[in-house]
Amino acid sequence: MNSLCVLFLLPFQLAGHATLIVVCHNWWYGRLIGRRLTDAVQLIHLALLVLMPFLFVPILWDQYPFVQLIGQYYSYLSLAGFGLLIIVTIVRYLRIVPSEVVCLGWEHLNPQSYLGHSGSGPGWRGRLAMIPGNDVLHPVLRRYELNLGSLDPLLNGLKILHISDFHFGKTPTREWYQAVMRMCGLESPDLVLFTGDLVDGLAQHDWIPSTLGHLSASSTSVGILGNHDTWYEPKMIERRLRNIGFQMVGGSVLQIQLRGKPICVMGNELPWRGSQPVVPEEFKNQFLIALCHSPDESTWAAQNGAQLIFSGHVHGGQIRIPLIGPVIMPSRYGRRFDSGWFRIGKSLLHVSCGLGGSQPVRWCCPPEVTMITLRGSGHDQSC
């Protein structure tokens, strides 16, 4: 292979190499592995990402025959990885939003107007959050209408607020979350659904009443925990959420009453916690909602009759590269369930980008909360 050919192929090989590492990383990160192993896997993948491109350097091939042998095979593999990137990206563009979903638009919440300051925390995290282009402090409210033909007329117009992945930590501040939740409260949701990952530290347990308490005091609120919660006294988090009015459904099924109609909500915190709940026969004809922290559990929820499934966990990838989309996605399905709406069998799945993240970095992927209004067939458009 002449040097001109090597130079021409190099960008595609590097892109393909990065794709292979990311695919491997996402697969591992979507599995049940301990926190230490998760950190180790991240480090290994980072090292491979940086070091393996040296296999493409022809000068090393002359000095070390084994590098040439591995390098040649890995060159072909990385080109296949580039092909995979192109195919997956095209498939993503061809994705069709379920016909029941009507997007009503989105708006910036601007918690800074409440606070009078940015809401960034102290230290390097706060400084990182303030870098122009970082969306961490700029949440959006997305609005959707769901046209469900079989919806009970009494539930027509029911407003569901989906919130997820707060990751209370050092950035943004408690005041920032309080402002965002107050703005959500102004929307007067009938039902608040929280799909896990509330805290990233024991010290942040104290934030729960002052951030979510206002919302849960005025709306029926149901929640589950996420994988990060399991690292910081999950039973204590559940207790604190129950104390402010949340009904926790991890590994169980709950019947709630809204507008005089029974609605079932089931929770699934797998693969980190509990088990898949069994839906009692008498609940199977009712309107059934599933909360699954990971969208990987959405297939189970669809098979068990959930009409609506709500998930978080993947944060929309946090960094979305223009044209390509998200990269890091802790899911067995890779980038398939990144954010927004999906049809799984007869069910509709909504995956939230969440409000926070362990690392205060978001690019082309702002924090979000979602307001969903249910509509039955033949509803009055003026209501």
Residue 147 CB, nearest approach to Fe ion (Å): 30
165 touches Fe ion by CB under 5 A: yes
Residue 289 CB, nearest approach to Fe ion (Å): 20
Residue 227 CB, nearest approach to Fe ion (Å): 7
Residue 208 CB, nearest approach to Fe ion (Å): 16
- Nearer Cβ to Fe ion, position 121 or 317? 317
Site for Fe ion in 8-27 (CB under 5 A): none
* Core vs surface per residue 109-118: b (16+ CB within 10 A) or e: bebeebbeeb
Residue 199 CB, nearest approach to Fe ion (Å): 11
DSSP result, 240-296: HHHHTTEEE-BTSEEEEEETTEEEEEEEE-TTTSS-PPPPPGGGTTSEEEEEESSGG
Determine how many CB atoms are found less than 10 A away from the CB of residue 311.
31
Site string for Fe ion, 188-227 (x = CB under 5 A): ---------x------------------------------
Q: Is the dihedral of CA 77, 80, 85, 91 positive or negative?
A: negative
Determine how many CB atoms are found less than 10 A away from the CB of residue 43.
10
- Nearer Cβ to Fe ion, position 165 or 296? 165
Residue 75 CB, nearest approach to Fe ion (Å): 36
- Nearer Cβ to Fe ion, position 175 or 229? 229
> Which range touches Fe ion (CB under 5 A), out of 102-110, 119-127, 148-156, 157-165?
157-165
- Nearer Cβ to Fe ion, position 175 or 197? 197
Collapsing DSSP to helix, strand or coil, 31 comes out as coil
> Which range touches Fe ion (CB under 5 A), out of 38-46, 143-151, 160-168, 254-262?
160-168
Site string for Fe ion, 43-82 (x = CB under 5 A): ----------------------------------------
Q: Is the dihedral of CA 32, 196, 147, 338 positive or negative?
A: negative
**Neighbouring residues of 373: CB distance < 8 A, sequence distance ≥ 6:** 143, 144, 145, 146, 157, 158, 159, 160
- Nearer Cβ to Fe ion, position 165 or 368? 165
Collapsing DSSP to helix, strand or coil, 152 comes out as coil
- Nearer Cβ to Fe ion, position 75 or 164? 164
- Nearer Cβ to Fe ion, position 16 or 234? 234
C-alpha angle with apex 267: 265 to 272, nearest 5 degrees? 175
**Neighbouring residues of 192: CB distance < 8 A, sequence distance ≥ 6:** 160, 161, 163, 215, 216, 219, 220, 221, 222
* Number of residues in contact with Fe ion under rule CB under 5 A: 2
Site for Fe ion in 318-377 (CB under 5 A): none
Site for Fe ion in 236-265 (CB under 5 A): none
Burial of residue 86, with CB atoms counted within 10 A of its CB: 0-12 exposed, 13-18 middle, 19 or more buried = middle
Residue 219 CB, nearest approach to Fe ion (Å): 22
> Which range touches Fe ion (CB under 5 A), out of 11-19, 101-109, 165-173, 269-277?
165-173
Residue 294 CB, nearest approach to Fe ion (Å): 10
Whose structure tokens read 């849960």?
A: 216
Residue 166 CB, nearest approach to Fe ion (Å): 9
Rounded distance between C-alpha atoms, residue 97 and residue 256, angstroms: 29
* Closest listed residue to residue 70, CA positions, set 54, 82, 85, 86: 54
Strand partners, 374: 146
Rounded distance between C-alpha atoms, residue 326 and residue 83, angstroms: 17
- Nearer Cβ to Fe ion, position 13 or 230? 230
135 touches Fe ion by CB under 5 A: no
- Nearer Cβ to Fe ion, position 56 or 310? 310
CB-nearest residue to Fe ion: 197
Burial of residue 322, with CB atoms counted within 10 A of its CB: 0-12 exposed, 13-18 middle, 19 or more buried = exposed
> Which range touches Fe ion (CB under 5 A), out of 88-96, 161-169, 262-270, 365-373?
161-169
Residue 358 CB, nearest approach to Fe ion (Å): 7
Rounded distance between C-alpha atoms, residue 140 and residue 137, angstroms: 10
- Nearer Cβ to Fe ion, position 45 or 293? 293
Query: Which residues contact Fe ion (rule: CB under 5 A)?
Result: 165, 197
